[in-house]
Amino acid sequence: MSKPNLLSGMQPSASSLHLGNYLGALTQWVKMQEDFNAYYVIVDLHAITVPQEPAQLRENTRRTAAQYIAAGIDPEKSALFVQSHVPAHAQLAWVLNCITGFGEASRMTQFKDKSQKGGADNSSVGLFTYPILQAADILLYQPKAVPVGEDQRQHLELTRDLATRFNSRFGQTFEIPEAHILRETAKIYDLQEPTAKMSKSAADPKGLVNLMDEPSVIAKKIKSAVTDTDGEIRFDRDAKPGVSNLIGIYSAITGESIDSFTASLQGQGYGALKTAVADAVVSALDPIRNRAQELLGDPAELDRLLASGAAKANEIAERTLSDVYDRLGF
């Protein structure tokens, strides 16, 4: 029996992924490769909805691809590709633009959030219509499930509405995808501000562990993590966010339970906790960084892998687009 299709996208917006991306998303995507026929797309068309420096965008796209492969996305099992290498994304987006109401698009709350700084008048129309491009990204691959975080729920609803509308106007064409809500098992917090989510936009770079950080840098960041003064190694997110974050990171990265890890540290201090966490993070991330460096040092190999991903994606995307064009009377 063939596996169901699954589509997931990632921004080429940072030169390094961080520990939160790795534990919160990437490890789940690696696992999903076993149960799904997965399409993983690096969304460069989405990236240009806000200004980009071309050389930086190109570099970030390559670095993103290298890190996903290094972290376990297997280009043999899954299609890992760059969105602009598959023209059907932009082509289907245009068609969907033409069946989306202006009011309907205006109700997408993320546009309001993302355009806040410059205001709507200073935002691109691309930023306004990006949920429609996202619908195209999904519908081309006929997935039964789309892994989404809570923040993407509204966009998946739009995708389902547009697919249903197209099917009823023009005939059955698209699978209606279900939300596959990602488990929030591993939420990772900032090392310097442990009540805030670890994020690439961290105020203090020491709060953020990057996949591409050198082992000595990772160890230093973990050893200077904010803790508290009671000296007790105990998991309690509210009373002890810093210590709990360190314990949570250790547990997520090693698979050892929180109870067994804290028991093993009985009678020891925060120094021992930090050393254990630093060692675990370094030994998990070091092979990833090395493999990513190796791929970045061999651009021909990286290009070959991305081209094979685009070929797999084009095969199904072109088929869907051709059905769409046919039904439209093109």
Residues near ligand ADP (CB under 6 A) are: 11, 20-21, 24-25, 149, 186-188, 197-200
Pick 31 or 197: Cβ nearer ligand ADP: 197
Pick 198 or 253: Cβ nearer ligand ADP: 198
Least distance to ligand ADP, CB of residue 187, Å: 5
Strands 37-42, 79-82: pairing kind: parallel
Least distance to ligand ADP, CB of residue 220, Å: 20
Active-site residue, from 3, 112, 144, 197: 197
Least distance to ligand ADP, CB of residue 71, Å: 12
First vs last C-alpha separation in the chain: 34
Is 149 marked as binding a ligand?
A: yes
Distance CA 58, CA 42 (A): 11
Is 20 marked as binding a ligand?
A: yes
Whether 114 is catalytic is yes
Distance CA 92, CA 95 (A): 5
Pick 21 or 320: Cβ nearer ligand ADP: 21
Least distance to ligand ADP, CB of residue 245, Å: 10
Whether 200 is catalytic is yes
Is 21 marked as binding a ligand?
A: yes
Pick 200 or 291: Cβ nearer ligand ADP: 200
Q: Which residue is nearest to ligand ADP (CB)?
A: 24
Active-site residue, from 114, 187, 223, 312: 114
Active-site residue, from 200, 206, 223, 312: 200
Distances from the Cα of 269 to the Cαs of 125, 256, 265, 266, in angstroms? 54, 19, 8, 9
Is 78 marked as binding a ligand?
A: no
Contact criterion met (CB below 8 Å) for 217 and 224: no
Written as one string, the DSSP assignment of 191-216 is: SSSTTSB--TT-SSGGG--BTTS-HH
| Residue 163 CA, distance from chain mean position | 24
Is 103 marked as binding a ligand?
A: no
Least distance to ligand ADP, CB of residue 269, Å: 26
Nearest of 39, 170, 154 to residue 104 by alpha carbon:
154
Six token digits for residue 167: 């099917």
Least distance to ligand ADP, CB of residue 267, Å: 30
* The total number of residues written for the chain in this structure: 330
Is 198 marked as binding a ligand?
A: yes
Is 112 marked as binding a ligand?
A: no
Distance CA 30, CA 69 (A): 10
Pick 116 or 268: Cβ nearer ligand ADP: 116
Pick 180 or 200: Cβ nearer ligand ADP: 200
Q: Sheet of 5-10: strands edge to edge?
A: 79-82, 37-42, 5-10, 145-148, 178-181
Q: Which residues of 148-186 are buried (b: 16+ CB within 10 A; e: fewer)?
A: beeebeebbebbbbbbebbeeebeebbbebebbebeeeb
In the annotated binding site for ATP, the residues are: 11-13, 20-21, 149-151, 188, 197-201
Binding residues for L-tryptophan: 137
Give the residue numbers annotated as catalytic, written as ranges: 114, 197, 200
